[in-house]
Amino acid sequence: MPSSASPNFSRSSRRRLLLVLLPLLLLLLLLLLLSLLRSPESIPISSNSTPSVGVAADSGFFFLSLSKSANSSISSHLRALTLNTHLAGTPSAAIAAAYVRSQLERAGLETLTREYSPFLSYPAAASLSLLRSDGALIKPLSLAEPADPAVRVVPPYHAYSASGATVGPAVYVNLGRDEDYLTLHRLGVDVRGCVAVVRRGGGPRGAVVETAAARGAKAVLMYGKTTGGGVERGTVLLGGPGDPLTPGWAAIAGGERFRVEDGEVTRRFPRIPSMPVSAATAGEILVSLGGLPAPPEWKAESPALVGVGGGPTLLNFTYMEDGKLAAIHNIISIIEGSEEPDRYVILGNHRDAWTYGAVDPNSGTAVLLDIASRYGTLLRSGWRPRRTIIICSWDAEEFGMIGSTEWVEQNLGNLSPKAVAYLNVDSAVQGPGFFASASPQLDKLLIEIMKQVKDPDSEGMTVYQTWVAKNGGISIERLSRADSDFTAFLHHAGVPATDIYFGEVSDFPVYHSALDTYEWMQKHGDPLFHRHVTISEIWGLLGLRLANDQLLPFDYLSYANQLQEHESALGKLLDGMEFVLPVSASIQEFAAAAKEVQHESMELKGRGIAELPALRLRALNDRLMLTERAFLEAEGLRGRPWFKHLIYSPPKDSASKLSFFPGIADAMSESNDSVAEVHANIQHEIWRVARAIQRAADVLCGKLT
């Protein structure tokens, strides 16, 4: 049959065309769908067809897209980390260390273990009993932790407590602050020769013990905020962080060490023994106290209290320390930067715990491992950070930030010229509510990122929105505390830092006790592990931006504003502006430099940073990076040379009204000096701060004067 040449297709040829067109149509539809779906949440990811993320901005989207099942991998990390206890320097610590190392390697990251041998302090023996005034035994009192009857974790103790045996009357000293002893003094109560019974909340443990010792107490028993039969362990190390035998240098094997009995070392330990006790044991002591009636405001907090004590009964308290050199292990992964491998963005969290450490610190460790795995996925997709990212799992933080401090001391020569920022997370999740602290030039970046991340507890809100609503505005705390691993980076090395977490500012109820378990986290801290994921997003994005941005995302106008606020707070406290004039003048210089740099950055961005010669960009970034370093002073704070940061280091007196300008704070709280000496010292410290701010202004604008 001849085929017709008619323009009409035969039935069969029409079918043939359809067969050709249909797949094409389907493909078109698919492509359309894919392009519509290319919102950040739905970039398709599979191990063999990862999208390429060569552009730095895309790596953030890609990073966020990996949140999908992050809650379950974070929870399984936390489960694994908390199966065993991991007190620093003990054999069981090796299990958590091996887990972290294997997970970092599994993420595809080059990973090292760095060992140090600091002097660590463990309990050998302890006893407590109640005696009649003639010395006859009334009854023994328990020093155990009611929540841990099988004693599977280290018994409650204070690391670096003195050893000793004391028999004496107990006196209730409330929070153990100077004002509490003044109250007792007014009542006519003398604590000399007594055992001071302290409720936690009056500042760092070591300082509370030293205050009691200075008043003549012979020992201190502390009880606290832990509930449910837990007891709060902790360190009483004084005078800053790090191994007490190697102050200012690293505790490496075969390196120089002071001897434990050297004066340099013994002043790091309180003079009298101390011990945390359970609420039950504290209650038994409180009801035994006679003496003068306790002030009503003390009774309000401790209902069992009737008299402040000083008899009629006595306490017999003994403690024996087991102090020794012990091996600790930092685990460090390095992602080398493609353009600027010699610039470091450092993420850190400690791994060691008093007990199981589900909150403190392994909620942070689980998140760190999640970030490592996401960075690993990015790397496999072809991404490389511009600058080097260093991921650190520290050991022996609980004893006094020892792992991070020894590492910073050992690497100071490289960190000083090369570290861009240190991003710390300790207990990532303690409960609801985002908490942020940062060096001021990082505020803006932190806020930008908080606006990008969904709030885990409020549907349809960003972290930023709920945080601003809760705080009535922007509220970023400054890092003058010395209670986690940012201390050596900021206070000693002058590296800008952040410290973030979820949870209320006051300590959570299982803090440092045997109850800090995976089960507590699952029941109370973060039942679905969504807050963990949020910390992973914020922390991970901070790392990415700082490592990727061509121009460092540092905003010094916010630093200048913060300094101006500090200056006016100081002026009010000193009741006279002429005192602070040198500081005012240098802050003006600093603000002018900040404006100039902002102007310069805008101009460069306008011209296109990609067009800029690499060394020109590098020179500007170096000024931004090194400005914080200029706040350091080589000889450090008076009497505390390790603390070198004159804007943000902890004040000597934790009750100080100044949470900045530590040298000025110290001069103000020096009670042994005459009024004239105090004034002269304050003025000198004001000049030192003024010179430091002027130095920072000079570095920021990059010109010799």
What does the binding site for ligand NAG look like in residue numbers (CB under 6 A)?
A: 71-72, 75, 127, 131, 135, 167, 316, 318, 528-529
Residue 219 Cβ vs ligand NAG, minimum distance, rounded to whole Å: 12
Rounded least distance, CB 366 to ligand NAG, Å: 11
d(CA 433, CA 505): 9
Q: Tell me if 328 sits within 8 A of 395, measured CB to CB.
A: yes
Cβ distance to ligand NAG smaller for residue 464 or 529? 529
**Nearest CA-CA partner of 668 in 578, 585, 575, 582:** 575
**Which uninterrupted H or E stretch holds 223?**
strand 219-223
Structure tokens at 110: 């080059």
Nearer Cβ to ligand NAG, position 428 or 587? 428
Can the peptide bond before residue 361 be classed as cis, meaning omega within 30 degrees of 0? yes
Distance of CA 261 to the CA centre of its chain: 31
> Between 92 and 133, whose beta carbon lies closer to ligand NAG?
133
Structural tokens at position 686: 């004001």
Indicate the pairing of strand 219-223 with strand 274-276. Answer: parallel
Across-strand partners of 140?
129
Q: How far apart are CA 540 and CA 534, in angstroms?
A: 10
Catalytic residue of the set 210, 397, 398, 628: 397
- Closer by beta carbon to ligand NAG, 71 or else 121: 71
User: How many beta carbons lie within 10 A of that of residue 483, not counting itself?
Assistant: 14
- In the complex, minimum distance from the CB of residue 103 to ligand NAG, in angstroms, rounded to a whole number: 17
Give the number of C-alpha atoms closer than 13 A to the C-alpha of residue 145, restricted to the C-beta side: 28
**Could you give the C-alpha distances from 356 to 125, 362, 561, in angstroms and in order?**
22, 9, 42
Least Å from the CB of residue 509 to ligand NAG: 21
Q: Specify the residue, 522 or 561, whose C-beta has the smaller distance to ligand NAG.
A: 522
How far from the centroid of its chain's Cα atoms is residue 118's Cα?
21
Q: How far is the CB of 131 from ligand NAG (least distance, A)?
A: 6
Confirm if 189 and 292 have CB atoms less than 8 A apart.
yes
Instruction: For ligand NAG, give the closer residue by CB, 223 or 317.
Output: 317
Could you tell me the two tokens for 526? 């973060």
In the complex, what is the shortest distance from the CB of residue 454 to ligand NAG, in angstroms, rounded to a whole number? 12
Residue from 496, 450, 206 nearest 344 by CA? 496
In angstroms, give the least distance from the CB of 95 to ligand NAG: 22
Task: Using the minimum distance from each CB to ligand NAG, give the nearer residue, 167 or 655.
Answer: 167
Element (H, E) at 164: strand 164-168
397 is catalytic: yes
184 with 191: CB under 8 angstroms? yes
Residue 489 per-residue DSSP state: I
Smaller CB separation from ligand NAG, 95 or 131: 131
Polymer length of the chain? 705
DSSP 436-473: EEE-GGGHHHHHHHHTTSB-SSSTT-BHHHHHHHHHTS
Q: How far is the CB of 72 from ligand NAG (least distance, A)?
A: 4
CA distances from 516 to 34, 172, 353, 512, 630 (A): 46, 28, 9, 7, 40
Nearer Cβ to ligand NAG (344/529)? 529
Q: How far apart are CA 424 and CA 480, in angstroms?
A: 14
Distance in Å, CB of 167 to ligand NAG, minimum? 5
User: Which residues, including other chains, have CB under 8 Å from residue 302's CB and lie 6 or more apart?
Assistant: 172, 199, 286, 294
Cβ closer to ligand NAG: 462 or 522? 522
Could you tell me if 92 and 86 are in contact, meaning their C-beta atoms sit under 8 angstroms apart? yes
Question: How is residue 108 written in tokens?
Answer: 């595809």
For residues 473, 478, 479, 481, the Cα torsion angle rounded to the nearest 10 degrees is -90
Q: Which CB atom, from 166 or from 437, has the smaller least distance to ligand NAG?
A: 166
In the complex, the smallest distance separating the C-beta of residue 336 from ligand NAG, rounded to whole angstroms, is 33
Per the structure block, which two tokens stand in for 212? Answer: 């009691």
Buried b (16+ CB within 10 A) or exposed e, 95-134: ebbebbbebbeebbbebeebebbbbbbbbeebebebbeee
Q: Which two tokens stand for residue 139?
A: 């009854």
Q: Which is nearer to ligand NAG, 42 or 127 (CB)?
A: 127
Beta strands in 95-147 (DSSP E): 110-116, 119-131, 137-140
CA dihedral 636, 642, 646, 648 (to 10 degrees): -170
Complete edge-to-edge strand list for the sheet that includes strand 137-140: 137-140, 119-131, 314-325, 164-168
Nearer to ligand NAG, 131 or 551 (CB): 131
**Which one-letter amino acid corresponds to residue 702?**
G
The set of catalytic residues is: 397
